[in-house]
Amino acid sequence: MKKFGIVIHGGAGTITKATMTPEKEKAYMEALEKAIETGYAVLEKNGSSLDAVESAVLCLENIPLFNAGKGAVLTHDKKYEMDASIMNGKTLEAGAIAGVRNIKNPVKLARAVMEKSEFVMLAGTDAQEFAKANNIEIESDEYFYTKERYDQLLKAIETGRSFLDHTVFEEKKLGTVGAVALDMNGDLAAATSTGGMTNKRYGRVGDTPLIGSGTYANNKTCAVSCTGSGEYFIRAVAAYDVSAQIEYGGKSLREACEALIHKRLKDINGDGGLIAINTNCEIDMSFNSEGMYRGYRTSDKEMEVKIYG
């Protein structure tokens, strides 16, 4: 039997055991396990890596612990603006959406862009029209509301700053979610989704919907999904950089990921992490922050879920 597997993340940042309650830790662990199980079940039935990453990310979008979908943070105007992307490593086809509102599962819309349009990225209100035309589920603002996110916005407005924070303002938690997978056919895929920054303004877009920055997949090399300070991942063209190091530099997956996270990003003061998998079912979950919500399961490795460094 050919190897297959899935890796997921739920954000990176200043995540320490000292600041985590047992109840919260349990909730995060269970959420990550659920997403892995969802994606792995697709692969186990000889499903595609695309279906697996979409299913895993959709699962995380539906859990308000994470800054994606239902748990998305609020903009300065008290709106929910979400970004997502997905990429097929076999064909290099990709789909992405930026700054969309009221889309229940942004990853579904990103895939629709890839498969049902001639484009790679759609943004804003016109992307929502495309969603309606393709029967992508729409939700009211009330669906996305959580008191925790609203309180975060009020604190951010007080300080006059925008925050990438995942939950607590005293701690930096970068809440993007993502998944990468290898299926039984040897095909790779990656998907990433986020609610962006608390108190963001002027239509700011981070790395998540940018193919090559936050998401990349190529059967020749690897599949990558990033989480962190988006502006730095954009400048580093982070996800593609890992692939390029492998394709043109002859590096292993581990070497490429560690060079990107611990050298290239650090050199420009960027923080965060990534998940990656290649066609040998080797995986990597490098990060330069104190923690990253992450986990994996492969055909030859039992499920493992981690939070701290």
Cα–Cα distance, 178 to 269 (Å, whole number): 22
**Structural element, H or E, at residue 49:** helix 49-61
Q: Comparing 5-9, 133-137, 197-201, which segment has the lowest mean pLDDT?
A: 197-201
The pLDDT of residue 114: 98
Q: Which of 3, 2, 6 is nearest to 285 (CA)?
A: 6
What is the pLDDT averaged over residues 278-286? 98
Distances (CA, A) of 149 to 102, 192, 272: 16, 20, 21
Residue 258: is its pLDDT beyond 80? yes
The verdict on whether 91 is a catalytic residue reads no
Q: Which amino acid is at 210?
A: L
* 210 pLDDT more than 50: yes
Q: Which of 38, 176, 208, 227 is catalytic?
A: 176
Q: How much is the pLDDT for 62?
A: 97
* pLDDT (tens digit per residue) in 81-122: 999 999 999 999 999 999 999 999 999 999 999 999 999 999
Q: Letter for the amino acid at 272?
A: G
Average pLDDT over residues 45-59: 98
Burial bucket for residue 52 (CB in 10 Å: 0-12, 13-18, 19+): buried
Q: Is pLDDT at 167 greater than 50 in this prediction? A: no
Distances (CA, A) of 122 to 97, 106, 297: 5, 12, 32
Q: Is the pLDDT of residue 244 over 70?
A: yes
In this prediction, residues 9-32 reach a mean pLDDT of 90
pLDDT score at 161: 58
Model pTM score: 0.94
Q: What is the mean pLDDT of the chain?
A: 92
Averaged pLDDT, 155-172: 55
52-56, 71-75, 169-173, 192-196, range with the lowest pLDDT: 169-173
Q: Is the pLDDT of residue 157 over 80?
A: no
Mean pLDDT, rounded, for 231-238: 97
- CA pair distance 236, 74, nearest whole angstrom: 27
User: Quick one: which H or E segment has residue 247?
Assistant: helix 238-249
pLDDT at 166 over 50: no
**174 or 175, which is more confident:** 175
Does residue 209 contact residue 86 with C-beta atoms inside 8 Å?
A: no
Mean pLDDT value across residues 29-44: 98
Pair of tokens at residue 230: 């988006």
- 49-61 helix and 22-44 helix, angle to the nearest 10 degrees: 160
Q: Residue 267: what pLDDT?
A: 96
Q: How many Å apart are CA 68 and CA 73, to the nearest integer?
A: 8
